[in-house]
Structure 1
Amino acid sequence: MNRNARRPIGLAQLSLLNTAPPRLVDVAAEAGFDFVGVRVRPVTPAERPYDLQPGSPMLRETLARMNDTGVGVRDIEFLLLDGSDQRDAWLRMMEAGHALGASSLTVAGGDPDTARLAHTLARMTEDGRSFGITPTLEAISYQPVASIAQAAGIARQASCRIVVDTLHFNRYTGPGAAAQWDELRSNADLVPLLQLCDGPAERPGSRDSLVTESRSERGVPGEGEFDLFRTVAALPGNLPVSAEVPSDRRVVELGELGWARRLKAGVDAVLAEADAGRQGSSFLAAGAG
Structure 2
Amino acid sequence: MTHHTPRPVGLAQLSLLNTAPPDLVRIAARAGFDFVGVRVRPVTPTERPYDLQPGSPMLTETLARMQDTGVTVRDIEFLLLDGSDQRDHWLRMMEAGQALGASSLTVAGGDQDSARLLNTLATMAEDGRSFGITPTLEAISYQPVASLAQAAGMAREAGCRIVVDTLHFNRFSGGGDAGQWDALRANASLVPLLQLCDGPVARPASRDALVLESRSERDVPGEGGFELAEVVAALPEGLPVSAEAPSDRRVSELGELGWAVRLKSGVDAVLAKADALRESVTQTKSGVQ
Cα deviation 1:195-240 (Å, max 9, x = unaligned) = 0000000000000000000000100000000010111111001100
In structure 1, stretches of 5+ residues that fail to align are none
Q: How many percent of aligned residue pairs carry the same amino acid?
A: 79
Query: Distance in 1 between the 2:138 and 2:166 partners?
Result: 11
Cα deviation 1:57-111 (Å, max 9, x = unaligned) = 0000000000000000000000000011100000000000000000000000000
TM-score (norm 2): 0.97
Cα deviation 1:16-42 (Å, max 9, x = unaligned) = 000000000000000000000000000
Change (3 A) 1:277 1:178: closer
Query: Distance in 2 between the 1:149 and 1:115 partners?
Result: 16
Q: What's the counterpart of residue 256 of structure 1?
A: 256
Residue 284 (structure 1) shift: 2.2
Query: Distance in 2 between the 1:22 and 1:82 partners?
Result: 30
Aligned residues: 285
Letter in 2 for 1:243: A
Q: What's the counterpart of residue 156 of structure 2?
A: 156
Q: What's the counterpart of residue 169 of structure 2?
A: 169
Cα deviation 1:260-285 (Å, max 9, x = unaligned) = 00000000000001101111221222
Query: Distance in 2 between the 1:170 and 1:223 partners?
Result: 15
Q: What's the counterpart of residue 111 of structure 1?
A: 111
Query: Distance in 2 between the 1:77 and 1:96 partners?
Result: 11
Residue 5 (structure 1) shift: 6.8
Q: Is 2:94 the counterpart of 1:98?
A: no
Query: Distance in 1 between the 2:122 and 2:5 partners?
Result: 35
Cα deviation 1:91-146 (Å, max 9, x = unaligned) = 00000000000000000000011111010000000000000000000000000000
> What aligned pairs does 1:22-171 form with structure 2 within 5 A after superposition?
22-171=22-171
Residue 288 (structure 1) shift: 5.7
Query: Distance in 1 between the 2:270 and 2:237 partners?
Result: 13
SS at 1:173 equivalent: helix
Q: Is 2:200 the counterpart of 1:196?
A: no
In structure 2, stretches of 5+ residues that fail to align are none
> Any runs of at least 4 consecutive aligned residues in structure 1 with deviations exceeding 3 A, and if so which?
none
Query: Distance in 2 between the 1:108 and 1:280 partners?
Result: 35
Query: Distance in 2 between the 1:62 and 1:54 partners?
Result: 11
Query: Distance in 2 between the 1:46 and 1:159 partners?
Result: 33
SS at 1:264 equivalent: helix
Q: What's the counterpart of residue 268 of structure 2?
A: 268
Query: Distance in 1 between the 2:11 and 2:225 partners?
Result: 21
Q: What's the counterpart of residue 240 of structure 2?
A: 240
TM-score (norm 1): 0.97
Letter in 2 for 1:68: D
Letter in 1 for 2:16: L
Letter in 1 for 2:93: M
> What aligned pairs does 1:176-215 form with structure 2 within 5 A after superposition?
177-215=177-215
